[in-house]
Every structure is written in structure tokens, then in C-alpha cells.
A and B are shown apart, each in its own frame.
Chain A
Amino acid sequence: MNGTRTDATPRLRRAAAVVGVGHTDWVGDWKRARAGEKPADSYGYAMRAFEEALRDSGLKREDIDGLIAGPTTAYERLGEVLAINPRWGDQADAVLSVVQAAMAIESGLAEVVAIVYGNDQRTAGTQYGGPQAMGGDAFLSYVYHSPWGLTSQGALYALTFQAYMHARGFTEAELGEVAVAQRGWSSMNPNAIMRQRITIEDYMASRYVCEPLHLFDYCLINDGGVALILMEAERAKKLCPHPVFVEGIGRSDLNRGATSLEPRLTEFYLSAQQQAAARSYAMAGVGPEDMDVLQVYDSFSVHVPLALEGYGYARIGEAGKFLRESRIGPGGKLPTNTSGGHLSETYMQGWAHQIECVRQLRGTCGERQVADCRHVHYTSDVAGKAVSVIYAR
């Protein structure tokens, strides 16, 4: 069973710090892709992002002794393109790359780890719905129900949201607050692809893709890359003017019943999020009331109300009220997805969220900067695997 220990990883607290971040020109590449051009492949985007992260860190290529490739590029080929022969390597998604980099650094297997992601999903025509749906090899639920016409990942969240609305008394208009708030943030972000503000009326008038989800509930599909460089904390304090520390980590997975969607439809990932929350809060010594910014993996807007309840920002059944009254947009009580997130900035599968965490803590977010930002909380619940990471200055 899922253990109840919350103190399993205290050694990882402030063991590693992010010292460099980089990403590609999402807006420019979006325009080029729409004009029929192919600016780069996944490796090309990964390379551009890595070179920027390396410049940002002030380090030399030879300083990198650990490398993690994102899920869309082969590890060996990425290392070849980046010209890195590390002493430790791995492959992982965004948030687990951060976790595994911290683990490698704390254990001494590596001292400076580059985590690198590139994805040409737009220009390559990657399908997230249909019989060849991306991710079907890792998650049987993405393809198992295709004989009945259920294949898109959005539809899985539409089923989740329908049951969630019924269980909690939540409304479509309350979900619309998420897309409206994130567009409010992205309107202040020059790196965001979608910057035009929208209203609840715009949201309610937008077409359904898979009812009850509207077009504005879905992430963008665009090309790009993201890279971060993490370093052993004591060295980072000496070398880096603005290190951002990995302060707390928690994880809890719901695998039982996953293919028939049980954890989504009957408990909305709540128990996994609560356990990941407890572990990461205990490790960092903080709670939801201490967070200045929340970043939620938002392939669909539905992730946000689930996270508000699961991580203790709103009482169970009160996420709708929280979205209406406390608010998550500019000027709200809990600034959330301050870059615009997957819905409005760029769909980098959680990677760009890590950069936004770092930039808010560095204080370099310009117009959308949250004042005196000290703690930023990142959460993801992809397919019921809840992961919580707390960053701090």
C-alpha cells in the first residue's frame, strides 16, 4: 500500500539548486510552423534550449557531469548532439527530471546535471487522440478504449470533470475561471503564444471539443525546447548570483484500476495529491499558506481545481468558490500558472513550468512578477501519478 511516511527524503532538502534555465523562441517558432516551415526537430529544439541554459548558468560544457533527456528524445542521440559525456545519465519527464537530478546530486553520482527537453510535436503532427495516440505505450488507458471511440487524453479529463462536477457541485463557469485567469497572466508574458485576454462569456460561448470541456480548456500543441541546469547546493551558493533551491519533494502514485480510469472517476486523484502534499510540505517545512505562486501541470484546465483541493489550497468541495472569490489570476490571492501555462504560454509538458518557478523566485518576470516571491509550488498529476516539488530562494 501507499506508505504514510512523510520524512523519507529529508536529505534532499536544499541539496540541489537550479543555476541555469533556457528555452526556445516559442512565439517565433509557432509563427514559422504555421507558415509551413520546420524550424528544427526535437533534438534541434533541445540543443537551442540547452545552449541558452548553459549561457545563463555561466558554466562550461565540461562542467556538466550528469544528463537527463526528456521523454521525446533518445538519451544517447541527445548526448551526442549536445556533446556531453557525463558520468551519470537518465531519461524522465519534467518533474521527475528535477527529482532525479536532485537525487543524483545528493548521492554524489553527479555534481552538475543538465535536464533537457525538445519536442517537434506541432510540425511532426503528433497525435494525442486517435488509434495511434501518443503515450499509449506507457499508459494503457490512452488506447485501450479506442473500440468505443475514447482515445483523446482530453476525453479522459472530460469524463473526470463530468463526475467531479456531479460529486462536488462544481460548474462549467467555475472551470472557465482557470482559462480566463491564465490568459490574464499570459497577456503580460512576451514568451506566451496566446496573449489576448478572454472573459467568462468568451469561454462559455466557445465550442465544446469533448463536452463538458471547451476549446479553452485544452493545451496548445506547439514546438519547442526547455533546459535547466542543477548544481550541488554549496557550490551553487558560491558560484551563482541567484540559486533556486529544491526545497521539498513528494510523490504518490495511483496505479490500481488505472486502465479502467477508477482513480480519475471515483476520487479525482485526491488521495495521491494529499499524500504527495504531506510529504513535500513536511520536507520543506512549509504549507500551502506559505506559497507565493502555484504552478500546476495543466494539459487541461481540470488539473487546477483538482490540485487546489488535493494540495490543501481549498477545502474539498470549495474549489469552485475559491476560483470565483479568492482567484488565481493577476491580483488574486493565489497566483497560479503565472506564465499562462500549457493553456496559453506553451505546451512543453511541464518543462516550461519549472522555468517559471525559477524566474518568479529570481524576480525576473517583469510585468507578471509576483512581489517578494519566496516559495513556489509545482504539482503534476499526469495519469494519477501525483508529484509535488517546492522551490525556494
Chain B
Amino acid sequence: MNAETPQTPAPVMGLYDRPMWDSIRERKMRLQRGKVSGTWLYPPGPGTPGGEELEWTPISGNGTILSWVIFHRQYLPAYPAPYNVIAVRLDEGPTIISNLEGKTPEGNWIGRRVKLVYADMPDGAVLPRFTLAE
């Protein structure tokens, strides 16, 4: 990494975010899950309604595209335009914002199945991203 390497925008790192980002670095992304209700939490937080015990649980990495956009303007050094952002409904329930890597669909992206990959950013950061599943 040299001085010109653009920095990946730092994640919000609240008390409950760190274990998730540690699991992403280990390439085994985990989210909190209620032991009783089975409810998954994203973003990580202090609890599910009712205050049950939570367990950091690996996600399947499978999901479906809910929406997508193409940025034509650059806001961040690490993201020269054009680039895409997608919203993915994980099979576990939560929605996660990310990017689609590799081949992109012709026409409408909504409803396309995707799977989780771990992207190595030029500055050494690791990001959970997605590729088309089929």
C-alpha cells in the first residue's frame, strides 16, 4: 500500500459492529441471532424486541437483489464512477447494502439471486460483496 492508495471508507464502528467486522475479516460473516425467536439483526445492535439472548451466527451468504443503482458521480476516492450499489435481501431476513462484483445482469437486476464473496480492497480492507449466483 502506498500513499496514493485510496482508503476504503471506514465503517461505523459502534459497540456491536466490531464482532461483525472481525468475522468479515475471517471470511465467515456472522450476524446476531435471537436464541429464542431466531430473529437476525442487521445492523448489529443491543438486542431484539423482548431482550432475549443473542448468538453470533454465520450467515448462508445467499440472497436476492431488492434494488440497485449506478453512481455516475464520484463522492469517495475509493469509488470512481461509474460503480453500482445493490440492496440484497439475505435469505436469513435482513437487508444489506453492498456491491455486485463481476458480471452484471442485462436489464432488470431486481429478483436476481446472489451469493456472498469477500472482496480485498487495495488498502487491505475486506468487504462483504456479492456475485450473481446463477
Q: Is A194 an interface residue (CB 8 A)?
A: no
- B residues near A112, Cβ cutoff 8 Å: none
A residues bordering B, Cβ < 8 Å? 129-131, 140, 143-152, 155, 158-160, 162-163, 166, 207-212, 257, 259-262, 265-266
Assembled-state Cα–Cα distance A145/B68 (Å):
14
B95 touching A257, Cβ below 8 Å:
yes
Say whether B9 contacts A149, CB under 8 Å.
yes
Contact B43 A260 (CB under 8 A): yes
Which residue from A140, A152, A211, A212 sits with its C-beta under 8 Å from B43? A140
Are A149 and B83 in contact, with the CB atoms below 8 A? Answer: yes
A149 touches B71 (CB 8 A): yes
A211 adjacent to B87 (CB under 8 Å): no
B9-A147 in contact (CB<8A): yes
B132 within 8 A of A: no
Interface-centre pick from A148, A162, A208, A266 (highest chain B CB count, 10 A): A148
Bound CA span A130–B43, Å: 20
- Report whether B94 and A147 are in contact in the complex, using a CB–CB cutoff of 8 Å: no
The distance in angstroms between the C-alpha atoms of A223 and B104, with both chains bound, is: 41
In contact, B69 and A211 (Cβ under 8 angstroms): yes
B: residues with CB less than 8 A from A are: 8-12, 42-43, 66-73, 75-76, 78-79, 83, 85, 87, 94-99, 108, 110, 125, 127, 129
**Residue in B closest to A211 when the chains form the complex, CB atoms:** B70
Take A257-B95, A261-B87 as given contacts and tell me if A151 and B67 are in contact as well, using a CB distance cutoff of 8 Å. no
Q: Are B42 and A260 in contact (CB under 8 A)?
A: yes
Taking A159-B85, A260-B96 as contacts, is the C-beta distance between A147 and B8 under 8 angstroms? yes
The answer to whether A210 touches B70 (Cβ under 8 A) is yes
Q: Which of B10, B66, B87, B108 contacts A147 (CB 8 A)?
A: B10
Task: Tell me the smallest distance from the CB of A383 to a CB of chain B, in Å.
Answer: 15
The A interface is mostly helix, strand or loop, or mixed, namely: mixed
Instruction: Give complex CA distance A147, B73 in Å.
Output: 16
Chain A residues within 8 Å of B97, by CB? 144-145, 148, 150, 260-261
A257 contact set on B, CB distance < 8 A = 95
The 7 closest A-B pairs by CB, nearest first: A149-B79, A146-B9, A145-B97, A163-B67, A211-B70, A260-B95, A158-B69
Contact assessment for A261 and B12 in the assembled complex, using a CB-CB cutoff below 8 Å: no
Q: Which residues from chain B contact A266 at a C-beta distance below 8 Å?
A: 66
- Which chain A residue lies CB-closest to B80? A149
Chain B nearest CB from A272 CB (Å) reads 18
Output the nearest chain A residue to B45 by Cβ-Cβ distance: A259
> For residue B96, which residues in chain A have a CB less than 8 angstroms away from its CB?
260
**CB-based contact B95/A148 at 8 Å:** no
A208 to B97, CA, bound (A): 21
- The complex places the Cα of A358 from the Cα of B46 at a distance, in Å, of 45
Is A160 in contact with B67, judged by CB distance below 8 angstroms?
A: yes
User: What are the residues of chain B within 8 A of A265 when measuring CB–CB?
Assistant: 66-67, 87, 95
| Contact indicator A131/B69 (Cβ below 8 Å) | no
Chain A residue at smallest Cβ distance from B74 = A149
In Å, the complex CA distance between A265 and B9 comes to: 24
Determine the chain A residues whose CB is within 8 A of the CB of B78 once the complex forms.
Answer: 149
B95 partner residues in chain A, CB cutoff 8 A: 257, 260-262, 265
Instruction: Chain B residues near A207: list those with CB within 8 A.
Output: 72
- A159-B75 CB under 8 A given contacts A140-B12, A260-B95: no
Decide: A148 and B69 in contact? CB cutoff 8 A: no
